[in-house]
Every structure is written in C-alpha cells, then in structure tokens.
Structure 1
Amino acid sequence: MTSASFRVRVRNGPAVAHYPPGASLGPRVLPCFEFVWMLDGRATWEHIPDGAEPARVPLRPGLLLLSRPDLRERYLWDPDHACSHAYVSFYADGADDYGRWPTTQPFTEPLTGLCRYLLWLAGVDSAAASARTATVLGWLLDVFLDGPLGDQAEAALPEHVLRLADHVRAAWRGGPARPLSLEEMAAAARVSPGHLARLFRERFGVGPVAAVELIRLARAATLLQRSTLTIGAVAGACGFVSPFHFSRRFRVGYGVAPRAYRAFPSQDPLDPVRRAGLAPLARQLLVDDV
C-alpha cells in the first residue's frame, strides 16, 4: 500500500509545545499517528515494547519523528535546558501496514517547507485553513514515506561541491554569471584543482568548468525565453565575452543558435543540465539563492 492509498484526518495541532528543563511525557499509547520535530533543544524518544528494553531515538532540530498507533512511548526532554517542539497528530484511514514505516527522516526539502507551512496554517482561523492543513499533512506523510521525486542520494551533494556552490552564488550575486577558473573553484572547494576535476568527472561526467558553463547557458536560455534583452545583453549577463562566443557555446549545448531558440522556445532551459546529471548543482546555483 502506498501513502496515496489512505485519507488523512487531523486530530490535534499543528501546534508548538514548550518545556522547562527536565520535563517528560508518558509512558503513553497513542490512538493515532503523530509527527514531532524539535524547534529548540534536544530530547529522547523511547519506544517501550512489552517485556523488552526501550528503543531510544535522540531528537534534535533537523529530524522529523513519526510515532504511530499502539506504540507505548515516552519523551524525556532536555534535563538542563528549556526546549520546544512542534507536533501534529492525525489519523490515516486505510493504513494497515504502518509497522514497516520509517520512524525518522532528516529534514530535507520539501519536508522542511511543508512543516513550516503547517505551523503557519495553525495561525489562520478559517475552515479553508483547516481543510488545507489536512491536505498539506497528507503531502508531508507522502514525502516522509516515499521520499521526494527523483534520486535523493543524487540530490545530496558532497561538502566540497556545496562549498563551491556557495562561492559561485556569491560571485554571481548582483552581477553577471561570470566564468570561474578551475583554480578559483578548487580554492573555494578546498581541494586541489586535479582532485576537483576528478571528483566532478566521476560524479557528473564533465569537469567543473564545463559544468558551470552549462549552468550559465541554462540561465541564458531562461533569459532568452523570458525577457526582451538583446542577444548581446543576454551574453553579457551570463558572463560570455561576446555575442559571437555566446552563440557558439549556446549552439553546442542546445543544438540551435540563441535567436532560433528564442523564436521557437520549445525546449526547457534546464533540459541539457538534467541530461548531464547536473540538476542538483543547478538547483544550488539557480534556485536556492532566490
């Protein structure tokens, strides 16, 4: 049974609970499901099976917990500091195989955004907000169980690539999407140029300079579709030294000249990036900084 096979009904929440140091909850047995995520401080969640030692899960900000019906559970909040968590309890009509469901998931998008939206909806007093809460909670459960669309492992970029992405975003902010040399990118990633080139070729099949150029071309393709800038202005905004050089590189990536692409914009600007396996890096450079 998939997460789309049942209907979600809200029982209590979304809301936030605040605790003084050393507070606890339980043991208790829930009649329903409950999402819990720490906002501040730490805690320990215990699942207490009959006649067995408790199974303990450390809770911290950045982790989403799903408790479920019939579990005997207990929460032990931070003994030394005040803490808080958000929660929402709910029924999932038709769910009969939840014993195999995961207990925790790290906060990645879109889990983070959905939880924030649930808390925002909690402050809206209307029937429409209540209906939307159930809908969003269903989305949250679906992503928690089945993961976001696409390859989650691919989306998790290595630390050196994230450092490089931070540097590229800063270099492009407020100005043209200029090209970066291999030496500059390696310094930002804190590895040698040769090591960075090998890492990129192993993961993406192209070197870092070519990868960043393809993402610059995707930025240019978007401008061609969604602005009246001249070809020369698009070239300048995306860091190409001349319209001629831009046109030549664009034809390599997209198969047509910029002017022809603008006249018949049937291709998604990100298609060449996706085909090259660069979508996770492109999201860092083209989406995350907006």
Structure 2
Amino acid sequence: MTQLVLRTGPEIAQYPPRTTFGPRTLVDFEFVWLLRGSARWDCDEHHLDLRPGTLLLARPGMRDHFRWDPDRTSTHAYVHFRVPDTGELGAPDDWPLTRSLSPADPMAALCGYALWLGSGTPRPGPSRTAHVLTWLLDLFVRGPVPGDVEGHTPLSLHLLRLADHVAATWRSGPARPLPLAELADAAGVSPGHLSRVFRSEYAVGPVAAVELVRLARAATLLQRSNLTVGAVATACGFANPFHFSRRFRATYGVPPRTYRRTRTADDPLAPVARAGLLALAHRLIVENA
C-alpha cells in the first residue's frame, strides 16, 4: 500500500462568517473536511460547495481559494502530507477531488480517529497518524468499499416523489433538465426548502444533482453503446453537442470522445458517488430503466 508522509495536522480551524482564505498554491496534498458551517472552494475550473460530510483532497500545484459561510461560524479539519510514491493508486491528476462521508463509511471513521489522535496529550508518534491517513487515502482514491456503493441513507418521501417524476418525464422523451420549480412541485415542497435539503445533504443543488445523473447516463452510453456523441447529447437532454461536451468535460475531466476512447474501465457513476447521490441515481437510472 502507498505510504504517505505526514507534514501538518490533523488540526482544526474555525472561521468567522464571510472569512476568505487564499488564493494559495499548494506544495503538498491536503485533506479538508468540514465539521460545521459551509465553504465555497474554487480552483481553476473547479467550483465546489463544501458541507459537513464531504471530504476534499487538494493536490500539489493547485491554486485554490476558500470562501467560508456568510452567515455562521465554520469549522473544518485539515491535514497536509506528501506521497513519495503513489504506486498502485496511479497518477494524482486522476484522483477524485471529493468523496462523501457517512456514519457507516470507514472513511468517516478514519477521519474521526485521525482527529482523536491529533487531540491526544501527549500526541502519538506521527507514524501512527500517517498509517491511519494512508488507509484514508487508499479508500478515497479507490472508491467505496463493497456494500457501500448503494448508500446507507434511503431517499426521503419528498425525494422519492421527485425521483419518480423525473424518471417518468425521462421515459417519455430525452433525459432533459427540469427547472427548480418543477422539481419542487414534484417533491411537494417549496423551491427554497428543496434547495436547502439538497445543499445540506448532497452539497449540490437539485438542478445540479439532476444534471450529474444525466451526465452519468451519458457516460454509460458512451461506454456501452455505438451512439454518436451527438446522439448521446440529444438522448440526455443537452441542447447541442458543444454544450454537452463542455458540461461533460467539467465533470469527467475529458471530452466525451476522449472518455469513450480511453476511460472504458471507469465507473460512469463516480461523480454521482462523490456527490452522495447514488441512491437518487440508482432510482433514476436503474430502477426506472
């Protein structure tokens, strides 16, 4: 297993409302996970809304910027480390940026244990913490353990109604985008309430969540069909191949044609999994196929 070298942490930092941090250029790897509040993380073309339950891995050379919750104090944990040899984990540029944590997830337990080690008096030797973080890095890069992929949090009644409405709409035509008002009406809640639920549980809004599932469907078609890229774009509700290619590249890191040619072994649901949306995607893509 790849062994990392601990540099700083694990530590906890607290930020008053409207605090910012950066831009800064990282010289090492950094795990960041929120304990309270929220943050906006910007780095080149990446723009992520971070909430408790999301684990971020920033890489050396990244120039990033944090904007913390405008209304309340935010608290996050962080740790800096080096990876002298990535070994079987492959190139860091191919690693995910975020993973979702849950109480039943071993990554969540490892984060908690690392913090506990960091708060001990006296602190244990760095080698023990490094071993814990090595396991965390391995799980983060390789993906969820077997049995974790279905998610441990079932959809609420509101989200079941939303998913069934979206699935019914897609069965009668392309997997088109749905406006927030229509999603909220299907769920039986106000648009504001639905947005708060999604951003609290999934760190993305409902419209963005539906787009991630549409892109996952597109990635599956690219891998497992002979449809042209234009036909995939149409089937997944994108206005034209150019718009589809731009949105696909922003999520999967490569254009659709490159993904089809070089990523045949990739999990098309990986971005959905990182957002914690597997249960929703499963209902839309699998159960209503």
TM normalised by structure 1 equals 0.49
Task: Return the TM-score normalized by structure 2.
Answer: 0.49
Tell which has more relative contact order, 1 or 2 (C-alpha 8 A, sep 6+).
Answer: 2
Larger radius of gyration: 1
